[in-house]
């Protein structure tokens, strides 16, 4: 017998998630472009709904999350019974892994895919398998080549974080078609609202029409409510039934439910965030390229920038920006040591990061 409490297999092999930084040297104005939140902040209606909850803190939240599921269903034309909400879409990812993958099972993702898939896979004792990519983009062929009888889940972020790249609706369908029906396909559409490309699909159609696809979304990014931890998934009724058995009965707070329901109903505010990004993402990408940096084409609200050809390192660039009060995301943990990820900010923030990088590269 071990001489102290010992966690289940896999847990000690987890490299803890390190989020984007949020502080800089004292006294500097802070420009935070490290976690992909909308720079416009949340809808004023969401803030108001959040504040109204302050008078009701003595009551438990509605464990069925009816208000929010119905608000989401109305906006997206969905069946509210097939929506499951979580404390961030991270919790939805965690519930899927907890329910469908354990020891002896494999979970498949793409090489530079979102790290939470790996963390939840390992925390459930399952084995993570990574498939190669083409040009920092999900490769359906390379994913399908890794599927075997032990595969339980395939996760695809579309568009992916931190690369910003996406696969087309046709490719997503081809991936689904190549999977045996017992393999769950998890489509992470955290940045779906931003995508302008006409051949994109967010996975909702597959989640509506197949027995093994779950699509999940977050209120943390374009809705700018990350502090409240709220996300949701759309899935076949049988999978919703499974996740509802294992989620905590009060896994999302009243404040999160109220704010998110107000946010999703405020389509006008959403359009402002979409329009802001459609204007500044191309600007930021073009200006970075003018500085001689390599930019991966992004469909999200951030860009992945490579420093290898600039004669300077991403690490030094990151240190320099930090010294200027500008926080971007180092993506070493994604096996991208020569890259940084920069979130699209407000106009002056975008201009500040370009001007700082221009000085740095001189």
Ligand X SMILES: *Cc1c(COP(=O)(O)O)cnc(C)c1O
Which residues fall within 8 angstroms of residue 70, CB to CB, at 6 or more apart?
Answer: 80, 261
Shortest distance (Å) from residue 226 CB to ligand X? 5
Sign of the alpha-carbon torsion through 27, 31, 32, 34: negative
Q: What is the DSSP letter of 329?
A: E
| C-beta separation of 228 from 37 below 8 A | no
Instruction: Give the nearer residue to ligand X in terms of CB position, either 71 or 352.
Output: 71
Q: Give min distance, CB of 154 to ligand X, in A.
A: 15
Binding site for ligand X (CB under 6 A): 88-90, 114, 157, 161, 188, 190, 218, 220-221, 226, 231
Rounded Cα–Cα distance for residues 201 and 191 (Å): 11
CB of 315 to ligand X, least distance (A): 22
CB of 223 to ligand X, least distance (A): 10
Question: How distant, in Å, are the alpha carbons of 18, 136, 161, 212, 329 from that of 334?
Answer: 11, 11, 10, 28, 11
Q: At closest approach, how far in Å is the CB of 44 from ligand X? A: 21
**Residue 349 burial (CB count, 10 A):** 21
Q: Do 251 and 244 touch, CB atoms closer than 8 A?
A: no
C-beta of 112 vs 356, nearer to ligand X: 112
Q: Rounded to the nearest whole angstrom, what is the least distance from the CB of residue 163 to ligand X in the complex? A: 10
Nearer to ligand X, 200 or 360 (CB): 200
The closest of 274, 288, 270 to 342, measured between CA atoms, is 288
Which CB, 121 or 161, lies closer to ligand X? 161
Taking the C-alpha atoms of residue 172 and residue 155, their distance in angstroms, rounded to an integer, is: 11
> Angle at CA 264, nearest 5°, toward 283 and 169?
60
Query: Nearer Cβ to ligand X, position 43 or 161?
Result: 161
Which C-beta is closer to ligand X: that of 329 or that of 352? 329
Nearest to 263 by CA among 43, 39, 38, 36: 43
- Take residue 59 and report the two structure tokens written for it: 């009551």
Residue 193's CB is within 10 A of a number of other CB atoms, namely 19
Alpha carbon separation from 246 to 17, 99, 100 (Å, rounded): 23, 8, 11
Please identify, using beta-carbon distances, which residue of 151 and 158 lies nearer to ligand X. 158
Least distance in angstroms from the C-beta of 241 to ligand X:
22
Q: Which is nearer to ligand X, 114 or 194 (CB)?
A: 114
Task: List Cα–Cα distances, 305 to 32, 36, 237, in angstroms.
Answer: 16, 15, 41
CB of 161 to ligand X, least distance (A): 3
Question: Reduced to 3 DSSP states, what percent helix, strand and coil does the chain have, rounded to the nearest 5?
Answer: 45, 15, 40
């Amino acid at each position: 017998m071990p001489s102290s409490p010992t966690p289940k297999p896999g847990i000690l092999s987890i490299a803890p998630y390190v989020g984007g930084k949020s502080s800089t040297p004292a006294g500097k104005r802070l420009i935070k472009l490290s976690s992909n939140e909308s720079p416009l902040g949340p809808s004023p209606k969401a803030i108001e709904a959040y504040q109204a909850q302050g008078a009701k803190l003595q009551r438990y939240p509605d464990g069925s999350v009816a208000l929010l599921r119905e608000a989401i269903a109305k906006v997206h034309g969905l069946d509210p019974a097939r929506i499951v909400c979580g404390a961030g879409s991270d919790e939805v990812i965690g519930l899927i892994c907890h329910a469908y993958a354990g020891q002896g099972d494999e979970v498949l993702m793409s090489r530079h895919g979102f790290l939470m898939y790996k963390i939840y896979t390992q925390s459930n004792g399952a084995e993570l398998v990574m498939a190669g990519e083409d040009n920092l983009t999900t490769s359906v062929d390379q994913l399908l080549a890794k599927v075997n009888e032990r595969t339980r889940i395939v996760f695809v972020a579309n568009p992916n974080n931190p690369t910003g790249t996406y696969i087309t609706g046709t490719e997503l369908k081809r991936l689904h078609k190549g999977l045996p029906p017992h393999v769950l396909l998890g489509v992470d559409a955290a940045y779906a609202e931003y995508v302008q490309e006409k051949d994109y699909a967010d996975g909702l159609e597959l989640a509506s029409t197949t027995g093994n696809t779950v699509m999940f979304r977050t209120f943390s990014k374009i809705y700018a409510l990350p502090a409240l931890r709220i996300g949701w998934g759309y899935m076949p009724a049988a999978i919703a039934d499974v996740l509802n058995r294992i989620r905590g009965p009060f896994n999302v707070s009243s404040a999160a439910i109220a704010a998110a329901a107000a946010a999703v109903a405020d389509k006008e505010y959403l359009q402002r965030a979409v329009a802001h990004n459609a204007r500044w993402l191309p600007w930021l990408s073009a200006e970075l390229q003018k500085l001689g940096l390599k930019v991966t084409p992004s469909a999200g609200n951030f860009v992945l920038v490579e420093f290898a050809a600039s004669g300077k390192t991403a690490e030094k660039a990151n240190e320099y920006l930090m010294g200027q009060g500008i926080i971007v995301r180092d993506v070493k943990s994604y096996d991208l040591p020569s890259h940084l990820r920069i979130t699209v900010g407000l106009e002056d923030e975008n201009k500040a990061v370009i001007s700082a990088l221009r000085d740095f590269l001189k």
